[in-house]
Amino acid sequence: MKRALLLGMLLLSVRAVATAATCPSGLFIQAESVPSGGQSALVAIAPIDGDASLDIVTVNQYEGSVSVLPGNGDGTFGAPIVTAISFSGLYSMAVGDLNGDTKADLVIGTYYEVLVLLGHGDGTFDAPVEYPANIGPITGISLGKLDANASLDIAAVSNGSIVVMLGNVLDDFVAMLFVEGFVDGGAL
């Protein structure tokens, strides 16, 4: 009887600990705060630093910087690697390999520009290259292959307008063509 009672209490204790560590739906474990290296406004998860683990990349709105939190592969992260970009008014972000070097690059939407930051594969990035978008603020960015070449293309959106920037990888450069259109019933 004592053994059964002890086993029952042990199971009850284990359930209580497991329940306390999960969210109400049971789909996620308890949230944990991770310092990002700035006042982060945008976040993405991608392999940024060249190892097999996914990393967290943030755009720090007020500091004008980008932070990479290197993933350890076990749900924990290393200290933020911060790259200054000297821009504020950062509204959107996408991650992809724009120049075909297998290293993650960042695309950030500002008020009237698209910034391209080519990645080094170690959690740091080149200084941003500015591409005028002629719309703003750029509140959404997506990357994909919209034409026949192998390069990723950029679609940026603002207030019902879309700008499509067709990528063309030439000697590690990303050249963009600009096509402006409207979503709300107009042609693109």
Mean pLDDT by 10 residues, the chain (188 residues): 38 34 66 82 93 94 90 93 88 93 94 92 94 88 89 89 81 47 44
CA distances 8 to 1, 4, 20, 60, 101, Å, are 10, 6, 18, 50, 58
pLDDT number for residue 186: 41
- Give ∠ CA 119-122-128 in degrees, rounded to 5: 25
CA distances 76 to 36, 61, 73, 79, 91, Å, are 13, 24, 7, 10, 27
pLDDT number for residue 149: 83
pLDDT number for residue 25: 66
Radius of gyration of the chain (CA): 22
pLDDT number for residue 89: 83
Residue in the block written with tokens 């200290």: 79
| Euclidean distance between CA atoms 142 and 139, whole angstroms | 11
pLDDT number for residue 35: 81
Token pair for residue 127?
């200084």
Which conformational region is residue 65 in: left (phi greater than 0), alpha (psi within -120 to 50 degrees), or beta? beta
pLDDT number for residue 116: 93
pTM: 0.76
